[in-house]
Amino acid sequence: MKKIGKQTIEFEHSVNILGSFSIVGPKEGKGNFSEYFDKILDDDLFGQKSYEKAERKMFLTAVLGALKSCNLKTSDIDVLLGGDLMNQIISSNFTARELQSPFLGIFGACSTMVESLIVGASLIDGNCFKNVACFTGSHFSTAEKQFRYPLELGTQRPPTSQWTVTGAGCTILSSVNSDIKIKQATIGKVVDWNVSDLNNMGGAMAPAALETLYTFFEDTKTTPNDYDLILTGDLGKLGSEILRDLMEFRGYKLGTNYGDCGQMIFNKNQKVFQGGSGCGCVASVLNSYVIKRLKQKKAKNAVIVATGALMSTLSSQQGDSIPCIAQLVLLETKNV
Amino acid sequence: MKKIGKQTIEFEHSVNILGSFSIVGPKEGKGNFSEYFDKILDDDLFGQKSYEKAERKMFLTAVLGALKSCNLKTSDIDVLLGGDLMNQIISSNFTARELQSPFLGIFGACSTMVESLIVGASLIDGNCFKNVACFTGSHFSTAEKQFRYPLELGTQRPPTSQWTVTGAGCTILSSVNSDIKIKQATIGKVVDWNVSDLNNMGGAMAPAALETLYTFFEDTKTTPNDYDLILTGDLGKLGSEILRDLMEFRGYKLGTNYGDCGQMIFNKNQKVFQGGSGCGCVASVLNSYVIKRLKQKKAKNAVIVATGALMSTLSSQQGDSIPCIAQLVLLETKNV
């Protein structure tokens, strides 16, 4: 690894994306990426007795699916890296219990997918591990219950709200050569512009995306035009518009190559206000649409900026604003 | 890095412990390690309006103290690695907000201190980062509130219970040479022997400590006699006795060089039943007693095995047993 500028690292040994898998709920399956997802559930309880158990079954399905996509077995995983939104990241812990591979739990809220790729790529680059499985996800019904209101209450949603994606994704990183590589990463700082509206996560997280994306361009001396695809994780419609404005103010105009997974995942007729959110949003889109675009050489590179809101219900109850973070990776196809 | 055996890695570039700091509450300050701690609080509210805010102030004090101990500034930190027991690891997130360094949040319950050292050592070994700050901690009153009962209820504690340590610790890892190095690490698997008694964490976690410690000895072809100090994080009296039995059954008899931070931190007259627990237990003991023993050449090496119970209140309410994990690092002084 080599440090570039202030917060960016370049992986010097080849860090390859060997396998991937995405699984989503029925609502997400009717959205814009239906043709890209590997598995779409008919029922978001997934045959389980609780939504929490359904969430972890999605995680397990994603990891096993990603392994199968590159003909690996569970015993081929050197390290499992996962996290989620549930208190004490139980979905990931119970998934790791089933897989019986060495496990490192991480937490970055909705930035978890990219955080796991950064840590995983660093481990692969260390020339010690062959295969690392990075996974995360979220479930609408577990997140609503934990962070907002009981589902049965039917609480009205304000126009700035987003819809937590029911979905999970897993990426297998490997030292074994493949067409898609993780080339660079920018590790984010916690950014807090004093937003405390829990129903406007996009607005809260946009400044974190700004800081990380701006730092990435400055560190690498590149501009938005150097990339085929620049995707934020789950800023939603409003949040991604705020990011566009903020970036332009800082001298980097984002073009049509910029999009937000949260804004893109659902279609116009689905009542989700600002779009999707949750760990599963960028996890399912990255491990379907993005990787397939790169594989099919429809894009030669992709900058993925996953944002996370790092509050808890308790910190909000105690009057704190919402601290946010954004983690970034640059994916490249082999023949750039 | 080099992989040894199944789950152990050896850091090939020198990973140095450059600085450290420990801070504890008044009760811990009256225990066995009072002369070793860097700061002992008179009041566990630490001048704050809530115990949660006190917890994060302890974290910040630990990081700033560790930086000061090796004459570094906040701007010298390349990456901050932290986590804690609070839902969504808010104590670490808010600490990272104050420090404004690139941040990766992790979660391993009470294994967090050692997990952060493993990830941090991997990053330093990658020859890219100079200084990484690893921190965690816990607070009796925040943990009781979140995981058990309201403090005001005065609930009776059963004899197998432990007392969550109010304390925090920070270790500065660096590529700059120092007397103490992290030499090896064993990344644990999730172990679950179907214990579901939330008042017997030591019993639940002992099997995880067994699996990681056993794997470490097997991977490195060493025995307990090769080490001056073998410490588990917070198994407490009962849990560490179970570990002794289990290890002997597997062919490795632990001698007087083995101890448990949870059992050791409080003295006999403090009513804590099986001893201390929580992220702050091993964090405060490692960053005081252990590092000072190594610095003073009273021990030439130390194996630290931090265990974590990976359940949440919700997973327990839904009838799940307690999945556990143990992470291990081997510290060595320069002239072994």
DSSP H helical ranges for chain A:
26-29, 51-69, 90-99, 112-125, 140-147, 201-220, 236-249, 261-265, 279-285, 291-295, 313-317
For residues B160 and B63, membership in a common domain is answered with yes
Residue A125 φ then ψ, to 5°: -65, -25
pLDDT digits (tens, 9 = 90+) for B68-87: 999 999 999 999 999 999 99
Q: Are residues B111 and B217 in the same domain?
A: no
Interchain contact B241–A (C-beta under 8 A): no
Three-state SS for B130?
A: coil
A321 vs B contacts (CB less than 8 Å): none
Tell me the chain A residues in contact with residue B103 when contact means C-beta distances shorter than 8 Å: 187-190, 325
Give the dihedral of Cα atoms A295, A123, A53, A109; nearest 10 deg.
-90
**How big is the A-B interface in CB pairs under 8 Å?**
168
A37-41 mean pLDDT: 98
Do A52 and A121 fall within a single domain? yes
Say yes or no: A169 and A205 in one domain.
Answer: no
B235: which DSSP letter?
Answer: -
Both B159 and B208 in one domain: the answer is no
- At B334 the pLDDT is 80
The answer to whether A168 touches A23, Cβ cutoff 8 Å, is yes
Cβ-Cβ contacts under 8 Å, A107 against chain B: 83, 88-89, 105-107
Same domain, yes or no: A161 and A186: no
Question: Could you tell me if A216 and A295 lie in one domain?
Answer: yes
Pair A215, A167 in one domain: no
Specify whether the backbone of B276 is left (phi greater than 0), alpha (psi in -120 to 50) or beta.
beta
For residue B100, list chain A residues with Cβ-Cβ distance below 8 A.
189-190
Of A53, A106, A312, the CB nearest to B90: A312
B189, B152: one domain: no
| Backbone angles phi and psi of A270, in degrees to 5 | -90, 125
Taking the C-alpha atoms of residue A186 and residue A197, their distance in angstroms, rounded to an integer, is 27
Q: Which chain B residue has its CA at the smallest distance from A97's CA?
A: B190
Cβ separation A119–B125 shorter than 8 A: no
Mark whether B249 and B219 lie in a shared domain: yes
Query: 3-state class of A20 per DSSP?
Result: strand
CA distance B101 to chain A (A): 6
Question: Given B174, B195, B218, which residue is the final one in a domain?
Answer: B174
Most A CBs within 10 A among B146, B190, B201, hence the mutation to make, goes to: B190
Q: Does B129 touch chain A (CB under 8 A)?
A: yes
**Which residue, of B142, B174, B206, is where some domain finishes?**
B174
The number of CA neighbours under 13 Å toward the Cβ of A254 is 24
- Rounded Cα distance between B167 and A114, Å, is 31
Residues B121 and B231 in one domain: no
Among candidates B119, B128, B313 on the partner chain, residue whose Cβ is nearest the Cβ of A2: B128
Cβ–Cβ below 8 Å for A3 and B128: yes
Q: Which of B139, B174, B209 is the last residue of a domain?
A: B174
Is a pLDDT exceeding 70 seen at residue B142?
Answer: yes
The CATH number of residue B157's host domain is 3.40.47.40
Residues B30-52, mean pLDDT to the nearest whole number: 98
Tell whether ipTM is more than 0.90: yes
pLDDT at A283: 98
Q: What is the pLDDT of residues B203-219, one digit of tens each?
A: 999 999 999 999 999 99
| pTM value surpassing 0.95 | yes
Interval B10-19: pLDDT, tens: 999 899 999 9
Strand partners, B131: B174
Q: Which of residues 23-62 of B touch A (CB under 8 A)?
A: 49-50, 52-53
Q: How many domains does chain A have?
A: 2
Tell me which residue range forms the domain holding A78. Answer: 2-174
**Co-location of B143 and B204 in the same domain:** no
Q: How far apart are CA B5 and CA A199, in angstroms?
A: 49
